[in-house]
Structures are given as C-alpha cells and as structure tokens.
Amino acid sequence: MRFSWLLLPFAALLAQPAVGQVSPKLQVLEQRLGSMASENPGEFGIAAMDLSTGRTVSFNGNEPFPMASTMKIAVAAAYLTDVDAGRRTLDDPIAGTTARALMDAMITRSDNRATDLLIGALGGPASVDQWLRGHGLTGIRVDRTIAQLLSARRDLRDVRDSSTPTAMLGLLRLLDSGTALTPQSRSILLDMMRRCRTGSNRIRGILPPGATVEHKTGTLSGYTGDVGFLTTPTGRRIAVAFFARGGENRPAVIATAARMIYDAFGAEQSADAAASIAEAQASLAPAPVPSQRTPAFAH
C-alpha cells in the first residue's frame, strides 16, 4: 500500500472538528493516527502524553511490542539510581573503560556490548526488571541481555523484553518527573538521549527545526521503534512511544506520527493559552456601573 500521508499538509490532517470531547484537537489526532496506522501495512503501537497536563492519545496503546534497544533507557535509569544512592559512580571501571563511557555508547550509538556490560554490572536483566517493578511500572519487562535476545529465535510477538506504548510512557514520565532520578542524573540521561545518533528518519525525520528531541531507538528485523521526548520552542514537553512490526513504511509512519503529535499538542497549547488569557481578562474586567438615567440612544 502506498504511503501518501507524507504528501499532505500537516494542517489538513488535523482540520476536521471532533464532537463531544473536552479536547477536540486531540480526539481528531487520535483518529488520524489510527487511520494512518490502519492504512499502512504492518502493526503499529503509538502513544503520546503532554507531560504538563497528562493528556494522552494512543493507538494500540495496551498492545505489547518488542522494546529492542529502547530498553536501554531502563538500563541507564537503573544504573543511575545506584549512582544517586552512592552504591556506584559513573567513573567506576568496567572492562577497561568507565560506566559513563559505556552508558554514553549505549544511548547515543546503541552499542550492544556496552549495554550488556552495564547489565552485568547491575547483576543481570532481573535487576533492571526489578527496578521497573520497584517503581510500580507494569506492562513493561526486561528478561534477557541483548546478546541473549539477538541469539534467540526471532519472534516479534514474544512477551519477553516487551512493552506496551502506554507503559513506555509511564517509564518516560517517571524519568522526566524527577522522582526516580536526581536532577543531575536526569540531566545526564537526557543529554545522552539528545545526542542519540541513530534513527534520524524516525521521530526526528520531519519535525521543525525548533523542536528538541531526546530519544532512544530500537531495531530488529521486521521491527522499528523510537521513544523519548519532544520539546516545543515554548517549553512544552511531550513523551512519545512508537513501536512498529511488519510492513515496509515503518520509519515513515513513525516520522509522520511524530510530526502530527508535535503539531496537535502545540495547537492544544495555543488553545490553552488563549483560554487562560480570556479567563484572566474576564476576571480583571471592571464591573459595569449602573446607569443613573436611561440613555437616549445606544452606541
């Protein structure tokens, strides 16, 4: 099936009004995301959340998908938690280098060996999974090292090392909130995600120049993923998760969905700002003064 959505103006994708919802623009967005995903070959899981309001849209949001290398965010978070607790440092020597260098390679270049060295230092995949459980996250799990995952028979519906799109949002929201990591560790992780070199044709693909992206990609044969944060020039942050298996247009669908989400949540922000300004103006407007006599005519 030809992928024609990239040829359409993005404003046109969001132009039709929705009915009966508090947030019409986001209802339209969810419908458009579902239509686009359904009209392209393969299976897609999409979720996005405005981190300032909690407003969320999703398509197949509760369907498990492989995480592939997007799970490396959880590995970094588990290690940084130990750093925050004083049990480790980023300067700890591991296999002839440092934990910091391994983490940077893991996030920015998706280095599998670096990932497994960090997982080994933590005590194995179960330690990362325990970190997820300890923070109340469900619908997301880590079962194997990267080497074990890659050597196993490929099954894109295996529930091991999987996440639903909404569960991934839960992890991203936790990391962004500052409750799981100290500000310093959060800043280190986000800086690495901002410098991610992989997947330039996915989330980053067709976003406007003013967008800031902090993300981590995942790739397997027949599978493409990308998760992370979008930040608008006004500072609004959006957590996004894109998982895709099968089909041929996976990166293009992800790129278009990311742009649709960025534009729609930006429009929501403008609407919220306009409503706030109107409310403020109404509260400051002087009360009408009763007339002392009936005017002879109306102006």
Judge residue 151's burial from the number of C-beta atoms within 10 Å of its C-beta, 0-12 exposed, 13-18 middle, 19 or more buried.
Answer: exposed
Q: Are 171 and 74 in contact (CB under 8 A)?
A: yes
- Position 271 scores a pLDDT of 53
Residue ranges of the chain with pLDDT lower than 50?
1-22, 273-299
Q: Are 202 and 258 in contact (CB under 8 A)?
A: yes
- Position 269 scores a pLDDT of 65
- Position 186 scores a pLDDT of 98
Tally the residues of the chain. Answer: 299
- Position 240 scores a pLDDT of 98
CATH homologous superfamily, domain 22-273? DD-peptidase/beta-lactamase superfamily (3.40.710.10)
Q: Are 135 and 91 in contact (CB under 8 A)?
A: no
- Position 218 scores a pLDDT of 98
Q: How far apart are CA 290 and CA 185, in angstroms?
A: 61
